[in-house]
Every structure is written in structure tokens, then in C-alpha cells.
Amino acid sequence: MRNLVRNLFFTALIFTVAIGMACSGGTETKDGTSDAGGSVKLQGSGASFPKPIYEKWVNEYEKVKPNIKIDYQSKGSGGGQKDIIAEVVDFGASDDPMKDEDMAKAKGGDLLHIPTVLGAVVMTYNLEGVKDPLKLTPEVIAGIYMGDIKKWNDAKLKELNPEANLPDAEIQPVYRADSSGTTAVFTDYLSKTVPAFKEKVGPGKTPNWVKGVGAGAPRNDGVMGSVKQNANTIGYVEIAFAKANDLPTALIKNKAGNFVEANIENISAAGAGAIKDMPDDMRIKITNAEGENTYPISSFTYILAYKNQKDAVKGKALVDFLWWAINDGSKFAEELHYAPLPKEMVEKVEAKIKSITADGKPLYEGEKADAKKAGE
């Protein structure tokens, strides 16, 4: 009798544990998840340039795949590159394509650059009484950041903006204090167009800013906050940050000699022109591009991911998210002032995503699903 009671007790216990695991999702799911909550957690870090669109994508994708949890930490392109090289995140993000010597340091093997959207770096400013957008040339912008143009009513600024009520006040330029892809895009444009800037400051994520000129702030959020809170300031930020804070953006003189605004059409023009020159690894800079209406401080922004994923479950979750982002997720881009990838570009990026593997096996399964559906 005692043995019978004991056997019934253990049978009930095992049954209870099994039911509990099934209810909690502890067994492997169709999506390949395997943790106690039935979810996959992905950690990413990097550029603040795409922060608004990446946050939107994470929120929207969770509605599609509730079991995929993605945490993206905005810390600058330099931080994202360092994190993915060291394999402390599942993906990095950068507006500045990685250099060969940095990619060679990657612990996990071949790193892929996967373009997600196009964005623009804009000049935003805080000038009381100035309503119409200012017109700026690369020479004037460079002069401000090199300390050669010190006041808002400087003759060079007045010549470009004769109708503007420019104050007799010191210009306070703001730049990024961290290792920044936004800075890399901004300084790449100025280095291409103003030889003196290239020599004195130079391009890069952490350029040699002129001592005593301006003040630094971390991330796009920090530069935007500094400009918004302080009169007579000017700074460079991704356009979404300026729009979200209701601050003006300047018209910039492009390669064709036209003053253009940073809108979806003009940003897209910069990306479309780059397709014919796109290398296989997709690392390309598109500042100062050709075209009558091309916005000259435009850029792709990239997700950085290892071609061979060590964790197949996480790798598949990342592949599925990236595929969704450049396809279904693209509909959210324009409302946040990003330009979706051109159609021809999407096809190239899809091929790049399909090349991601784990243990030599492709992680993208969409083609299998499509074939199965077609056969039904």
C-alpha cells in the first residue's frame, strides 16, 4: 500500500511538471525558441542615427512575433562596432562603414554590413526671430566649425541669407563628444568639399575638432538637447531628432549648386545614385552625391552581423527580424523621416540576409515556406 501511494505521488508530480512546462512554453517552439519563457532575446547596440526607426521596428515586430524580444542600446556607431567585434551583442549598428583593419579584429569571423534605411544629417539651430530656413554652403559650415566664422551676422552668412534677421551674437557650434557615425557622415561631406577642413579637422567618427571652438555632447539626443536649450547654437543631427523637437533645418548647397532640403525624395536620390557603385560588401559613403535635387549629407545606416551565427536559435530570430525590417518594416520609415531602401537595393540586401548561416546551414527559411504554400 505504501509503495502504491508513493508511485501515485511521483506520477502526479511528473504530470504537474509536464503541464507546467507546456503552459510556460518551456519546450521548443515552432520558431526554434528554447528558454523557459519560450522567447528569444536579442541584444544590439550602436548608432543613435537610426534610433527612432529601430525603436519603432522593435515595438512593431513584437506585435508580429511576441516571442522575439529585442533590446537596442543607442551608444554611437563606435560603440556598436566595438561591441560586435567583441561579441558582447548579437548585432551592432553603424552609419560609418567599418574599416578593413577593424573588421579583421572581429572575433566571430566575417562581419556583414546590412543596409536598413537611408537618413540625413541636418544642420539645426536655435535663432530667435529667424523663421525661414537658413541657406548654408559647405564652406560656411566648415568655417563655423573651424572657428573662422564666429558671429551670426558674419558677412558670409548675411550674403547667403539677406532677408534673415541674423543677430550680432556669437555662434555656439555643438558637435558629438562620442565616437559617432553621424559625425563620420558630417565630416566626410565637409572633407570632400572643403580642403581646409580636411586638413585641419578631417573625416571620421572622432575627428580632430579645433580646440576652443564649440562644445561636445553625447549622441544625437545630446546634441539636439544642447541646441534646443541654448540660444544662438547650431548642431548636426539626424533629421528625425530635429523634426521631433520642432527645430528648423537649413537648406544645404549640393554638388549641383542648388540649395536643397532634407526630405524623403532628396535623400532617396542620394541612395538611388549609389546603386551602380555599390560594392559586394555594401560598404559605401554617399555624401556629396550627384543630382540636381540630391541632399548632400545623406547616408545608409547598417546593421552589423556575423555571417556565421554561433547560436542558431538567436541567428534565425535575427534573420527573420532583418527580413521583416527591410520589407514590411519599411512602411514606417517615412513617418520618421527616413527613406526606405530603393527596390534594387532591397534585392541585394535580401541576398545578403540569405547568406547568414549557422553550422553551415542557411537560417532564412522563407523560400521553404513559400514553396510549401505554393504546393498546397
pLDDT tens readout for residues 225-283? 999 999 999 999 999 999 999 999 999 999 999 999 999 999 999 998 888 889 999 99
- pLDDT at residue 4, rounded to an integer: 40
Round to whole Å and give the CA distance between 199 and 134.
Answer: 27
- pLDDT at residue 368, rounded to an integer: 52
- pLDDT at residue 131, rounded to an integer: 83
- pLDDT at residue 37, rounded to an integer: 52
For residues 141 and 219, state if they share a domain.
yes
Under 8 Å CB-to-CB from 78, ≥6 apart: which residues? 178, 179, 180, 181, 205, 206
At residue 225, what is the residue type? G
Q: How many distinct structural domains can be found in the chain?
A: 2
For residues 138 and 251, state if they share a domain.
yes
Round to whole Å and give the CA distance between 331 and 63.
Answer: 15
Residue 283 maps to a domain: no
Residue 344 maps to a domain: yes
For residues 107 and 154, state if they share a domain.
no
Cα–Cα distances in Å, from 366 out to 42, 52, 307, 324? 20, 27, 18, 11
Burial zone of 376 (CB within 10 Å; 0-12 exposed, 13-18 middle, 19+ buried):
exposed
- pLDDT at residue 275, rounded to an integer: 84
Q: Which residue ranges in the chain fall short of pLDDT 70? A: 1-37, 367-376
Domain containing 190 equals: 123-277
Residue 292 maps to a domain: no
Closest to 155 measured CA to CA, from 145, 147, 146, 166: 166
User: What is the domain-level CATH number for residue 156?
Assistant: 3.40.190.10
Round to whole Å and give the CA distance between 25 and 34.
Answer: 8
- pTM of this structure: 0.87
For residues 114 and 168, state if they share a domain.
no
Round to whole Å and give the CA distance between 352 and 354.
Answer: 5
For residues 112 and 251, state if they share a domain.
no
At residue 145, what is the residue type? Y
Residue 12 maps to a domain: no
Residue 294 maps to a domain: no
SS3 92: strand
For residues 51 and 186, state if they share a domain.
no
At residue 197, what is the residue type? F
DSSP 8-state code for residue 110: P
For residues 230 and 154, state if they share a domain.
yes
- pLDDT at residue 209, rounded to an integer: 97
Q: Quickly tell me which residue has 513559400 as its cell.
A: 370
For residues 201 and 223, state if they share a domain.
yes
